[in-house]
Structure 1
Amino acid sequence: MANLAVRSLTVRNLTVHPLELVAVERFEGARVQRGGLLGNLTGAITGLLNATEFPGRETHPSGDATHSAAVAVTVGPFCAAETDVRPADPGREVLRLTFRSDDRRYTADVPSPSSRSAVMAKLDDGPRDLTAVYVPAAALLAVFSSAQLDAWMRELHDDWPLSLLSIPGTHNSPTCYTALPSVRCQAVGVPEQLRNGIRFLDVRLSANPDDDTLALVHSAFPISLTGTKYFADMLQDLYRFLDDNPGEALIMSLKREGTGKGTDGQMGKYLERGYVDKRRDRWWTEPSIPTLGQARGKIVVVRRFALDDDMRDACWDGRGWGIDAQQWPDNCEDGTGGNGRFRIQDFYEVSESQNIDKKIHYSHGQLERAAEQAFALAGMPDHRPDAETPPFFVNFLSASNFFNASCWPERIAAKVNPAVIEYLCVCHGEEGRGPQKLKIGSAGTGIVVTDWVGANDNWDLVRCIVGMNARLQLNN
């Protein structure tokens, strides 16, 4: 995928609008200390323990441009164009690129100061919010329309099946607290995840007989060493977010774990009567995949537990409660679950750090399979009224090994997440560029379930996933 012999910059436009690169300026790069000495020392220690990058220094353009040139490179929507521009010398130079879109100009420094994504500056108050993600190994700049993460679903047509969207998610979503190694999977809490684009939540609950109080757990362990955390409190965060952003939809995968002695059936009844029925307006419990319009303002239940017969028979004309994902293949590269409603990559038994390459390969393959799916709305050329709703493609980037510190969640994420960002920017949705050379359909990513996004405010992976929804706007 990466080409170490690349000698010129490539621009990939992943928006619905044509872009034209019109000017290039080259600056010497100056390394600037970020934060104070104490803050940098604390951050470096945190980064060492958590295997997440701490950007103690940033590269900024220094002085006047050493070279300036007018250029004319047009890049159509969802196209890539190789330029004659030499990439910046890493750590020594910064390129300032000026683009034009609908007679408005936008600029981005490449690489951005912290080598992460940057929202392009608007030189003349343009209407678009564009994100630039630079991949040094491929000398490629990907441009996304994913700057506004708090309410990204509002741009999409109501009639799209929820399963066709590119949806960022988190694995063991509420596990952001101080906890045992391999239990903590997230850098930040659920409210911050939602504000930054996460729309799929993976939640594990412990249930006890005759008590509808549900505790948040990860496997057999509590998610915090400083006191039990409860499902009810997390729901209040979700309700507040949906009250503020009624055009968004959340998907919640629910599974019973922990040391509680309650059964799946008891937990299902607790969920329905003790939680969902109190805010029926905020839940989708029908056992079918909704459209985005049907799901807006709601939490869509994906049920990874069994129902008692009486509850199943009493709900939705005997069809059950929630989207049935009780059947869930274990430790798989590409398994089928939920009676065909789910295609799942969840290879998680990584025994050695070298096996992370296998995990990355499986993740890329699942992204390609998701991109192959196609669906056309009424009025589009390929529309078929009898077309089946595509399944959810669920792609877990998470894996761990409790007994090997190099395979704890944050250390795996430190390798897997950047590899997936690079794949999305360089290859995803490009015919013949995936590992299996599959055809490209709607070019979505499916649900991509991550660990440790948002560490040090790095949301690049989420921006790349959300940005892939732009193709669905072409025919809105």
Structure 2
Amino acid sequence: MRRLSSLPALLLVATAVTVAGPSGTAQAYSDPASYRSLEENAHPDWMAAVRGDASLADLSVPGTHDTLAVYGGGPTETQERHERGDGRGGGSLAYQLRAGIRAIDIRVRMVADERGEAGFAIHHGAVYQHANFDDVLRELRTFLREHPGETVLLHMHAECAGGITGCEDADPCPECGTDHNHRRRQIFDAYVDANRELFWQPSVTGAADVPTLDEVRGKVVLVNWSGPHGGNYTDYGLAQLNYADWPDEWGPQKNCYVQNSYQVGGISHIDDKWEKVHAQLDRTNQAADCRDPGRPNGDKLYVNWTSGASVWAYPYTVAGGTPTATGVNGFLHQCLTGRNGRCDTPSVKRTGVLMMDFPGHGLVDEIVRRNPVSGSTG
């Protein structure tokens, strides 16, 4: 598919109480290893060393929230920008994968290409991220061919909820006579049909059980596919995560396996966001299943979003902190490394899937080292 056009970026820019600089210069005020310091090729094959009989639920997986949100400035950007030399999209994804990221969050807008055919452009709100879903699939295919011992967990989200800071879908087939939810699914299914070898098929053809790593090496696993207001398309993804809707990013936690409380009302609320991340880590490592306390917890996959923002605290501030406030990434790194009594570190035997803004190399290192390597007993 050729480069897709986007609507002009209409973004409400409110006065933000932040102290970090603009794109590319924002600094961390907590441990630099926790923030905006991914290292290329640091962990290109870490899953190859993990026991193949381990369930994905056993794993500790570093991931990124709004994986390709690298354009638009402070209110919009959530990750380090790494562009391809040939001008094609997806360079930041390729860099993240080589650095050890194995869970990605792709936000799509329904559009038409120059031929009038339907496709997905990558957006964060109204801002087009200079990439399309074809770019995402190309980078995933290239990486997994070069590193067949790995897998990538994919969260798909329909980004266009409208509103002054949002985007509107541009359905190239209004005469199809169906709603946007159905059209999104049709378009996604067409991508899957054209790339069947890339996807672990149970995750894209029906609600799947959580697989073992050996079942999905070299494949993309669709974890969840959600609509613009947080509701799940429940015939996709992993059934265990679809028992209730994933939380609306600005709403309550409806699904105990998923923490995605996104609103951080200001710098003074960063601590509150960390406590939600901390509580989900505790949930991940408790003995009892959070949904059914009469059942064991070890076979359940947990997803924990460390990201947060508002017009009073942009993503880089929430992640990296200020001179007077530790960022969520700093809190998390302290927890995983046993510093400042931030958490009961020995109890964090697995992190589940951590979806982060601007992760640092130290966070990726600490998450990866918690995995059950070949030859270990648990």
Q: Determine if the TM-score, normalized by the shorter chain, exceeds 0.5.
A: yes
1:302 and 2:208 are equivalent in the alignment: no
What are the within-5 Å matches in structure 2 for residues 51-200 of structure 1?
51-52=27-28, 116=33, 149-176=43-70, 178-188=71-81, 189-200=92-103
User: Which residue matches 1:238?
Assistant: 140
Instruction: List 4+ stretches of structure 1 deviating above 4 A.
Output: 44-49, 114-117, 331-334, 386-389, 470-473
Matched position secondary structure for 1:366? helix
Partner amino acid, structure 1, of 2:308: A
Alpha carbons 2:74, 2:316 under 8 Å: kept: no
Structure having the larger proportion of residues in strand: 1
Partner amino acid, structure 2, of 1:219: G
User: Which residue matches 1:344?
Assistant: 258
| CA distance, structure 2, for counterparts of residue 422 and residue 299 of structure 1 | 31
Matched position secondary structure for 2:195? helix
Q: 2:238 aligns with which of 316, 323, 327?
A: 323
Q: Which ranges of structure 1 fall in alignment gaps of 5 or more residues?
A: 1-43, 55-113, 118-146, 307-311, 313-318, 376-385
| CA distance, structure 2, for counterparts of residue 175 and residue 452 of structure 1 | 10
1:230/1:48 CA distance change after superposition, 3 Å: closer
What are the within-5 Å matches in structure 2 for residues 211-290 of structure 1?
211-223=117-129, 228-258=130-160, 259-262=168-171, 263-273=180-190, 275-286=191-202, 287-288=207-208, 289-290=210-211
| CA distance, structure 1, for counterparts of residue 215 and residue 170 of structure 2 | 36
Alpha carbons 2:247, 2:261 under 8 Å: kept: no
| CA distance, structure 2, for counterparts of residue 175 and residue 332 of structure 1 | 19
Residue 170 of structure 1 deviates from its aligned partner by 0.2
Q: 1:416 aligns with which of 313, 328, 332?
A: 328
Matched position secondary structure for 2:371? helix
Residue 345 of structure 1 deviates from its aligned partner by 1.5
| CA distance, structure 1, for counterparts of residue 254 and residue 74 of structure 2 | 30
Alpha carbons 1:285, 1:321 under 8 Å: kept: no
Residue 49 of structure 1 deviates from its aligned partner by 4.3
Q: 1:354 aligns with which of 264, 268, 272?
A: 268
| CA distance, structure 2, for counterparts of residue 238 and residue 53 of structure 1 | 33
Partner amino acid, structure 2, of 1:254: M
Moved more, 210-219 or 199-208: 210-219
Alpha carbons 2:284, 2:351 under 8 Å: kept: yes
1:396/1:282 CA distance change after superposition, 3 Å: same
Alpha carbons 1:373, 1:390 under 8 Å: kept: no
User: Which residue matches 1:50?
Assistant: 26
1:270/1:295 CA distance change after superposition, 3 Å: same
Partner amino acid, structure 1, of 2:128: P
Alpha carbons 1:395, 1:447 under 8 Å: kept: yes
| CA distance, structure 2, for counterparts of residue 198 and residue 374 of structure 1 | 28
User: Which residue matches 1:452?
Assistant: 358
Matched position secondary structure for 2:109? strand
User: Which residue matches 2:302?
Assistant: 393
Partner amino acid, structure 1, of 2:150: E
Matched position secondary structure for 1:265? helix
| CA distance, structure 1, for counterparts of residue 373 and residue 344 of structure 2 | 18
The one-character-per-residue Cα deviations of 1:418-473 (angstroms, maximum 9, x if unpaired) are 11011011179x9x9549xxx95x821011110012xxxx4111111111114785
Partner amino acid, structure 1, of 2:319: A
Matched position secondary structure for 2:257? strand
Matched position secondary structure for 2:302? strand
| CA distance, structure 1, for counterparts of residue 265 and residue 365 of structure 2 | 30
Alpha carbons 1:174, 1:203 under 8 Å: kept: yes
Residue 360 of structure 1 deviates from its aligned partner by 1.1
1:363/1:45 CA distance change after superposition, 3 Å: closer
Matched position secondary structure for 1:349? coil
Matched position secondary structure for 1:203? strand
| CA distance, structure 1, for counterparts of residue 254 and residue 374 of structure 2 | 25
TM-score between both structures, scaled by the size of structure 2: 0.70
Alpha carbons 1:373, 1:443 under 8 Å: kept: no
| CA distance, structure 2, for counterparts of residue 335 and residue 355 of structure 1 | 17
1:466/1:334 CA distance change after superposition, 3 Å: farther
Report the RMSD for the aligned CA atoms in angstroms.
3.5
| CA distance, structure 2, for counterparts of residue 473 and residue 372 of structure 1 | 25
Alpha carbons 2:333, 2:362 under 8 Å: kept: yes
| CA distance, structure 1, for counterparts of residue 286 and residue 126 of structure 2 | 37
Matched position secondary structure for 2:197? helix
Residue 257 of structure 1 deviates from its aligned partner by 1.4
Alpha carbons 1:284, 1:322 under 8 Å: kept: no
User: Which residue matches 1:41?
Assistant: none
Alpha carbons 1:443, 1:471 under 8 Å: kept: no
> Identity over aligned residues, as a percent?
26
| CA distance, structure 2, for counterparts of residue 366 and residue 387 of structure 1 | 16
Residue 245 of structure 1 deviates from its aligned partner by 0.4
Alpha carbons 2:109, 2:120 under 8 Å: kept: yes
Partner amino acid, structure 2, of 1:475: T
Residue 208 of structure 1 deviates from its aligned partner by 4.0
Larger Cα-atom Rg = 1
1:425 and 2:327 are equivalent in the alignment: no
1:425/1:471 CA distance change after superposition, 3 Å: farther
1:464/1:211 CA distance change after superposition, 3 Å: same
1:332/1:470 CA distance change after superposition, 3 Å: farther
